A = this chain, B = another copy of it.
């Protein structure tokens, strides 16, 4: 069995047992490739499944308000989609592919089975979900109190960090498959203002843009400007229960 990206991600935190690996394998059993812009879940849909994202980016969007929607979550390969929706059947947010990619749908019953048979894995998923929540809180802090420029910078350095965890690279240049309008949806801004911010950051030598790649020229400076702390990629596993009941 070739290592899946989810297994790899989970094993950043704990060494999985064989039976835990079986659960993970079960979640990734069914693969489906998706096109860019493909809608996976629409607002109002009955949601039956969670998903593992194997390749590509996916985004969660909220309903439109005054003609604009907002991006509430960007999923990168290896992440589990749908943990925030476990409590509800009817979707209040949409899920859409941002790039071509591949997803693995799996039913809620698999989660139920996990709770019954794999307590430690359950604790891990719950902890991952709790980190998602902390990340959202940070997004709220940014929207509520930061300037637009700082929000953009915060987004870029955070994203770089998430990507470098995934790719195990220390690269300050990365692919950013978002239009300026979509960046606006992420940051709560208009595309026009995003354009001006990017221009100003370019002019002041802080970033470089080439097509849909972006390079942080002074990452340390940028991180300092927004008080960035690399805090949301580690999990405290010390309290976890035994691997099986």
Interface residues, chain A, CB within 8 Å of chain B? Answer: 60, 62-63, 65-66, 68-70, 72-73, 83-90, 92-93, 108-109, 111-113, 115-117, 119-120, 122-123, 125-134, 136-141, 143-146, 187-188, 227, 229, 231, 234-236, 238-242, 245
Contacts and interface: CB of A to CB of B under 8 A. Distances in A.
Nearest to A133: B84
Given A88-B235, A127-B87, A62 B115 contact: no
A18 B65 CA distance: 46
Stoichiometry (number of copies): 2
Given A72-B137, A245-B116, A144 B239 contact: no
Contact of A141 (B70, B229, B235): B70
A236 B89 contact: yes
Contacts of A241: 112-113, 115-116
The 8 closest A-B pairs by CB, nearest first: A144-B188, A108-B239, A87-B127, A62-B141, A143-B143, A115-B119, A84-B133, A65-B145
A108 to B, nearest CB: 4
A97 to B, nearest CB: 19
Contact of A87 (B85, B92, B235): B235
